[in-house]
Amino acid sequence: MNTPSLAWSDDLVIGVPVLDREHAALLAMFQRLADPDCAGDRAAVRALLDTLVGEVCRHFDDEEGLMHESRYPDTAAHVESHHLLLKQVNSFITLLDGQPDGWAAANISDFVGRWLLDHIREDDRRFAAYLIAKR
């Protein structure tokens, strides 16, 4: 099942082009993960998850780098929420590894995709407003 709510939309733009591009690319990957053609193929799901985790880590590094550079006062709390998300993703991957079918893939796409949308709309937008005001 493709989850339309994971689609990129203008209300997700935070105004920092590098982060907007990365957010859009991550959402596209979560949508691919939820695609039934992929969800039924365990090896494809596992490979996509590995790629996705790598891309999420790279994105968090970029975002956190900008926070440190700009001395964003809420950096610690924001970084902590990134860590929590990665912990949850890794738990889902462990779950998937122990499951005979691909249900955990749709589950991870739904859960993490929604987390990402909320995170972009609230936490990332707050950081972007700070960064733009500082420039």
Residue among 15 and 40 whose Cβ is closer to Fe ion: 15
DSSP 10-56: GGG--S-HHHHHHHHHHHHHHHHHH-HHHHT-HHHHHHHHHHHHHHH
| Burial class, 107, CB count within 10 angstroms (exposed 0-12 / middle 13-18 / buried 19+) | middle
Least spacing, CB of residue 31 vs Fe ion, in Å? 19
Token pair 């996705």 is found at: 52
Least distance between Fe ion and beta carbon 125 (Å): 10
Least Cβ distance, residue 119 to Fe ion (angstroms):
5
CB closer to Fe ion out of 35 and 63: 63
**Residue whose Cβ sits closest to Fe ion:** 124
- Min CB(51)–Fe ion separation in Å: 19
Task: Tell me which DSSP letter residue 4 carries.
Answer: G
Q: Tell me whether residue 58 or residue 101 sits nearer to Fe ion (CB atom).
A: 58
> What residues line the site for Fe ion (CB under 5 A)?
63, 124
Q: Which is nearer to Fe ion, 35 or 124 (CB)?
A: 124
Nearest CA to 105 out of 118, 89, 119, 116 is that of: 89
